[in-house]
Amino acid sequence: MQTDQYVLPMVDISKLNSNDLNDRLEVAKALDQACREVGFLYIKGDQLQPKLFQHLIEISTQYFAQPETEKMRHYIGLSKNHSGYVPIGEEQFKENVYDLKESYDINYDYLLEDTRPLLGPTLWPDFPDFKTTVQSYYQQVKSVGHQLFKGFALALNLDEDYFGAHLQHAPSQLRLIHYPYNPDAQDAFGIGAHTDYECFTLLLPTAPGLQVLDKSGEWIDIPLIENSMVMNIGDMMEILSNGRYLATKHRVKKVKEERYSFPLFFSCDYDYVIQSVIPNEAPKYAPLKGGEHLFNQTAQTFGYLKKKVASGEIVLENARPLYSFGMNEQQEV
């Protein structure tokens, strides 16, 4: 793990591909240190494919350049599994405050019959090369994430394949986020302060703007580093690790330049119960149902789902408030 020349730790995950267990343990140790001390880090390695990164940026640029009416043909509120186009103002973390962004949300393209609120067929736009390009990126980064799950298992003194059985049909979501050019960017945020709901996130940004709340309560800017991804801990890994790793609060400040951001949020299977996996340690968190938690948090932020909750069409069970995890005592924004 390198830290001197970076704002965040840098972990090279190349050796997760090694047949030598000692090599994989070396990466697991670096991963553990970065997640315990910061909760945000850069990753680099042979597994990353910059050409796929570039293809995704190109297709997203072309897609979002369309007229709003065309994009709204695949509005997320029309989907069966919370996938599709998200217009500016749809997503709100605080009442009467909306994020200055639009996105296209891609869920695991689940084609079997036993669907769940976040598990079903993805709503794909009829836009040339969009589906094939996005799916190629999704599958590649998903394979990196599954290697990281093995690294976490080793870091937590579990069998290396512990999480594998719980990653068969995970509702892990990829978001293609576009922040339009805005010359009046002062004192505005593209995404308000929050923690991610899932186990961890792998992020590819194209411009500065991301800020992380460090353990001293200060917001720090996260610069871009070529051929790397940004990784952070989410709510579920905080529970799984029994608080060893804390979900880290972050936000996106609005910069004047046009910006794209591609986070892939890694969760476990919908019905997997999230609870401490640490041997011989009393649990510090009540267990929660993974998919249920994801949907409850999502339904508290998206306009079309809020309306369904308000009308009684959707009833949320065991819903926790937003901001239930991480360094809650440092949430001053």
Q: Which amino acid makes up residue 78?
A: L
Mean pLDDT to the nearest integer, 296-304: 91
Query: pLDDT value at position 331?
Result: 34
* pLDDT of 319 above 50: yes
**Chain centroid, CA 116 distance in Å:** 19
* pLDDT of 333 above 50: no
35 falls within a domain: no
* pLDDT of 100 above 70: yes
| Digit-coded pLDDT (tens) for 200-256 | 999 999 988 899 988 788 899 999 999 999 999 999 999 999 999 999 888 887 667
* pLDDT of 96 above 90: no
CATH of the domain at 240: 2.60.120.330
Stronger pLDDT, 80 or 14, i.e. the higher one: 14
Closest residue by Cα to residue 138 from 52, 17, 47, 41 = 52
Is 216 in a helix, a strand, or coil? coil
DSSP string for 213-242? E-TTS-EEE----TT-EEEEE-HHHHHHTT
- Inter-residue contact 102 to 88 (CB < 8 Å): yes
37 falls within a domain: no
Query: pLDDT value at position 191?
Result: 63
- Inter-residue contact 207 to 257 (CB < 8 Å): yes
- Inter-residue contact 63 to 106 (CB < 8 Å): no
| Digit-coded pLDDT (tens) for 248-268 | 888 887 667 888 999 999 999
Q: Residue 193 phi/psi, 5° resolution?
A: -65, 135
Stronger pLDDT, 288 or 189, i.e. the higher one: 288
Domain span at 190: 49-138+157-219+231-330
Q: What is the mean pLDDT of the chain?
A: 89
What is the separation, in whole angstroms, between the first and last Cα of the chain?
Answer: 30
Residue listed under structure tokens 């570039």: 54
146 falls within a domain: no
Query: pLDDT value at position 97?
Result: 61
Mean pLDDT to the nearest integer, 294-312: 92
43 falls within a domain: no
Query: pLDDT value at position 203?
Result: 97
Burial of residue 72 (number of CB atoms within 10 Å: 0-12, 13-18, 19+)? middle
How many percent of the chain have pLDDT more than 70?
A: 89
8 falls within a domain: no
What's the token pair of residue 92? 């709100």
Query: pLDDT value at position 180?
Result: 86
22 falls within a domain: no
62 falls within a domain: yes
Give the whole-angstrom CA distance, residue 45 versus residue 148.
12
173 falls within a domain: yes
- Total number of domains constituting the chain: 1
- Rg of the chain in Å (alpha carbons): 19
3 state SS for 122-138: CCCCCCCCHHHHHHHHH
| Digit-coded pLDDT (tens) for 23-60 | 999 999 999 999 999 999 999 999 999 999 999 999 99
Strand (E) or helix (H) holding 54: helix 50-64
Mean pLDDT to the nearest integer, 190-200: 81
